[in-house]
Amino acid sequence: MKKSVRYILNGLTLPVFVVDPKSKISFMNKAAKRQYSDAKRGQKFAQVISSKKCLSALNDVLNGAANATANITLQEVVPTSFRVSLSRLDSDNELNPSCVLSFEDVSHIQEAEQMRHDFVANVSHELRSPLTALTGFVETLQGAASNDPEARERFLGMMASEADRMGRLIGDLLSLSRLQAGERVAPTDNVHMFHLLNNVAASLGGLAQSRNITFNLDFSDEIPQVIGDADELTQVFLNLVENAIKYSAKGSVVQLSYDTLDENPAYLCVSIKDAGEGIDPSHIPRLTERFYRVDKGRSRAQGGTGLGLAIVKHILIHHRGWMKITSKVGEGSVFSVNLPIAKNV
């Protein structure tokens, strides 16, 4: 390949591969080297990209087709969708053509469409109940209760509660949208977990006191710092600790503790143990789905939108972390958050 062509391909922001007639990589531009750092010249292309759709399109071009396209999904840090454009590259020095493949990340387009679909489906369902209630309250105030001050005050309070619920729902949906849009770029700041967890406990002290819940804070200022975004991680632990308080029996203990993972010492594990009723194992895999509730009536009664654990999941994806949930009916639950430990602190 001519030097001028190499310069042009290296200037592109899309990953580009040139594959020779034997299906081996003969060139990778700088963007491809950054994204696929383990790939090497002379390596079989199928060892780097194993998608059957992509390999089938590559085979078509190497066998004479002028061009082809393939829409594929690869398991990067998170599943990523690409539109692969393949073009025949003839050379005076080769009897058979090579193929140029460029990878355009179209995940944001597909995610926007899926988010639009989910928004319409979920929000129409979740808002129907409070909107119906508001309509009924307004009709009552305009009719039978129009001259009843006591009924008017009661209904106005109910209307404010339903309006607040809709506001929280919309706020949580916007948070999810923002998180999903930025989760491919991991945060880089160091976060002091001792201060963060103490602040979370202090913020929820009033709620805990109202239920006679005691905090057992089993950590010290020696807890390792993690790589992350302090505001997002505060949101994670506020959500989990608040849930632990709400679902624990009155007069019980909520415990916060930490450890490092034996199988991966580069990660810090912070656990929140509640004293609730426990969760049936059949529900655990679905707890982080949007709008999934084990007890729908209880969740709504306590002001939940059904989006809290989904937000936690996407924040942890953004941080390259994860959450493990263990529970036994009658013995409470443990939510363990695993985060990368900051180095050279």
Give yes or no for residue 335 having a pLDDT over 90.
Answer: yes
Run of H or E residues at 261: none
Strand order of the sheet with strand 333-340?
214-218, 253-260, 267-273, 333-340, 322-327
The pLDDT value recorded for residue 92 is: 54
Helices of type H across 46-106: 52-62
Q: Do residues 235 and 315 lie in contact, with contact meaning Cβ atoms separated by under 8 Å?
A: yes
287-329 pLDDT per residue, tens: 888 777 776 555 555 556 778 899 999 999 999 999 999 998 8
The pLDDT value recorded for residue 139 is: 84
- In the predicted model, what is the mean pLDDT of the chain? 86
Average pLDDT over residues 170-185: 81
18-76 pLDDT per residue, tens: 999 999 999 999 999 998 988 999 999 999 999 999 999 999 999 989 999 999 998 87
69-125 pLDDT per residue, tens: 999 998 877 788 999 999 998 765 556 789 999 999 998 887 777 767 766 776 777
Question: Where are the domains positioned within the chain?
Answer: 3-105, 107-182, 187-345
Q: For the domain covering 187-345, report its CATH number.
A: 3.30.565.10
Q: Do residues 183 and 318 lie in contact, with contact meaning Cβ atoms separated by under 8 Å?
A: yes
Instruction: Assign domain 3-105 to its CATH superfamily.
Output: PAS domain (3.30.450.20)
The pLDDT value recorded for residue 124 is: 74
What is the band of 166 on the pLDDT scale with cuts at 50, 70, 90? confident
- Neighbour-count burial for 8-39, b at 16+ CB within 10 Å, e otherwise: ebeeeebbbbbbbeeebbbbbbebbeebbeeb
Say whether 88 sits in a helix, a strand or coil: strand
Lowest mean pLDDT among 178-187, 210-219, 246-255, 302-311: 302-311
The pLDDT value recorded for residue 156 is: 85
The pLDDT value recorded for residue 241 is: 95
pTM: 0.60
Say whether 184 sits in a helix, a strand or coil: coil
What is the band of 219 on the pLDDT scale with cuts at 50, 70, 90? confident
Q: For the domain covering 107-182, report its CATH number.
A: 1.10.287.130
Computed from CA positions of residues 21, 26, 32, 38, in that sequence, does the dihedral angle turn out positive or negative? positive
The pLDDT value recorded for residue 115 is: 66
